[in-house]
Amino acid sequence: MYEIKARNPSIAWKNIMTLINNYGTNIVSDQGLTREILNLCVEIQYPLEGYPIEGTGWDLPALEKYASDLCNFSYDLKGFDYNYCERMGRQVYHVIELLKNYPNTRQATIYLWIPEKDLETKLYKPCQVVADYKLRQGRLHATHFFRSHDVQDAYPQNIYGLGKLQKSISDELGCNPGTLSTISASAHYYIR
Dihedral sign for Cα 94, 100, 101, 105, please.
positive
Question: What is the C-alpha separation between 141 and 84, in angstroms, rounded?
Answer: 19
Looking at the chain, list the stretches that DSSP marks H as alpha helix, in order from N- to C-terminal side. Answer: 9-23, 60-71, 84-101, 115-118, 155-173
Pair 32, 167: CB distance under 8 Å? no
Question: What is the C-alpha separation between 26 and 6, in angstroms, rounded?
Answer: 26
Catalytic residue flag (residue 71): no
| Residues assigned a catalytic role | 127
